[in-house]
Amino acid sequence: MTSSFTTAIGAGPSGYSLPLSPSGGSAALTPPPWHFAGEVIMVDYRVDPAVAAAFLPPELDAGTDPGAAAAVFAQWQWCSASGAELAVPDRCRFGEFLILLGCSHRGRPLARCPYAWVDQPVPMLRGWVQGMPKQLGVIHQTMPVRVGEAGPRLGAPGGFTGTASVHGQRIVTATVNVSGPIAEPPPLHTVPLVHTRMFPAWLPGEQPLSQLVTSKVTGVEFTEIWAGQASLEIFDGIDADLGRLRPVEVGRGYVFGYAETLCHGEPLEPGGNQ
């Protein structure tokens, strides 16, 4: 596969990412685009607007609805353009939990992801390339079933729970009891994400790379979206800053399938901000 993202470094070993190798085939990450399809449990909630503001870089503001937030669980399947990972299920599946904060840039509505956890290393590293602050955690979700009594049925009322833990401590529990389908996706799931691409300093006197970017996404597709009452707890055991994003109010919950193709990044301010 030819990609503008495949890196050739002189005559030496190559790859889109480390590890570099003679054929380029050892790279931990394949170059974009990457296709994703997942089953999502999502809860709208509100945080203290002053806390949300403290998580935003100076280039962003709180937008028209300060304190709007969401907790999102997903069980994903992914593949590169070639689809090769689908034949290696050890590689193509992962779980994710992330928090979204509503924000805006010069009037453009966006979402900021202050925290994200995944349960596989490749999506974690891929997150860092994009500026998405993914760490490794343990993520679990109740899934819909097609037959039998061991779970809520697909496309029917029922209860779903998501949990995430880090370093042996629970960080979040969310429940959604869906009662019927709705027409529109949750608002924070429809605006672009804005990330800080960051590469930490390592050489004496060096400044870290730090750059605000959004992501170019295509092929967005939703299944029918079911909605209903929700509950949400966020715990501060491992991180006091995370605990400050606990809900001051919990809104509606959603369960749905979602797909997208992630193509590349875009500078938030064209021509600038490096």
> Is the bond into 181 cis (omega within 30 degrees of 0)?
no
User: Amino acid identity, residue 169?
Assistant: Q
Q: Which stretch binds a copy of itself (CB under 8 A): 53-61, 102-110, 186-194, 246-254?
A: 53-61
Question: Applying CB under 8 A, which of residues 1, 2, 82, 90 lies at the interface with a copy of itself?
Answer: 90
Single out the residue of 61, 91, 109, 246 in contact with a copy of itself (rule: CB under 8 A): 91
For 204, how many CA atoms within 13 A lie in the half-sphere containing its CB?
0
Span from 64-72, 103-111, 247-255, 256-264 in contact with a copy of itself (CB under 8 A): 256-264
Is the distance from CB of 35 to CB of 79 less than 8 angstroms? yes
C-alpha 172/C-alpha 178 separation (Å) is 19
Q: Which residue has the tokens 């037959």?
A: 147
Question: Do the beta carbons of residue 47 and residue 56 sit within 8 Å?
Answer: no
Q: Please, what sign has the CA dihedral across residues 214, 221, 74, 81? A: negative
CB 194 within 8 A of CB 224: no
Instruction: Give the 3-state secondary structure of residue 180.
Output: strand
Strand, coil or helix: 53 = helix
The mark string for 163-202 relative to a copy of itself (x by CB under 8 A, - otherwise) is xxx-xxxx----x--------------------xxxxxxx
Residue 217 within binding range of a copy of itself, rule CB under 8 A: no
The nearer residue to a copy of itself, 198 or 249, going by C-beta atoms, is 198
Nearer to a copy of itself, 5 or 108 (CB): 5
Residue 86 touches a copy of itself, criterion: CB under 8 A: yes
Stretch that binds a copy of itself, among 34-42, 101-109, 186-194, 246-254 (CB under 8 A): 34-42
Task: Kindly state the smallest distance separating residue 21's Cβ from a copy of itself, in Å.
Answer: 4
Of residues 220 through 249, those in contact with a copy of itself by CB under 8 A are 221-223, 237, 239-242, 244
Q: Give yes or no for a contact between 117 and 242, defined as CB atoms under 8 angstroms apart.
A: no
The residues in 99-118 that bind a copy of itself, with binding defined as CB under 8 A, are 114-116
Q: How far is the CB of 190 from a copy of itself (least distance, A)?
A: 15
Residue 175 dihedral angles phi and psi, to the nearest 5° = -130, 145
Question: Which listed residue (69, 96, 100, 130) binds a copy of itself by CB under 8 A?
Answer: 130
